[in-house]
Amino acid sequence: MSAIFAFVAGALSFFSPCIFPLIPAYVAHLTGTKVAENKIQAGKREIVLRSLAFIGGFSVIFVLMGATASAIGQMLIQYRGLMEKLAGLFIIVFGLQMAGVLSFRLLMKEKRWDTSANKTRGWLSSVFVGMAFAAGWTPCVGLTLSSILLLASSMETLYSGMTLLLLYSLGLGVPFLFISLVMTKSLQIIKNVNRWIPVLAKVNGWLLVVLGGLLYTGQMTKISALLSSYSIFSF
pLDDT of residue 116: 52
Question: Is there a contact between 63 and 148 (Cβ–Cβ < 8 Å)?
Answer: no
Predicted confidence band at 26 (pLDDT cuts at 50, 70, 90)? Answer: confident
Tens digit of each residue's pLDDT (9 = 90 or more) over 183-207: 888 888 888 888 888 898 899 899 9
Residue-range definition of the domain harbouring residue 181: 2-228
Interacting residues of 132 by C-beta distance below 8 A, sequence separation 6+:
57, 113
- Residue at 130 is within a domain: yes
Question: Is there a contact between 109 and 139 (Cβ–Cβ < 8 Å)?
Answer: yes
- Residue at 202 is within a domain: yes
Using CA atoms, how far apart are residues 62 and 14, in angstroms rounded to an integer?
A: 14
What total number of domains does the chain contain?
Answer: 1
Cα end-to-end distance, the chain, whole Å: 7
- Residue at 21 is within a domain: yes
What is the DSSP code (8-state) at residue 119?
P
Predicted confidence band at 233 (pLDDT cuts at 50, 70, 90)? Answer: very low
Predicted confidence band at 62 (pLDDT cuts at 50, 70, 90)? Answer: very high
Question: Is there a contact between 35 and 180 (Cβ–Cβ < 8 Å)?
Answer: no
- Residue at 124 is within a domain: yes
54 phi and psi angles, rounded to 5 deg: -60, -45
- Residue at 234 is within a domain: no
Rg (CA), the chain: 18
- Residue at 27 is within a domain: yes
- Residue at 233 is within a domain: no
pLDDT of residue 166: 95
Tens digit of each residue's pLDDT (9 = 90 or more) over 129-185: 888 888 766 555 677 888 898 888 888 788 888 999 999 999 999 999 999 888 888
- Residue at 163 is within a domain: yes
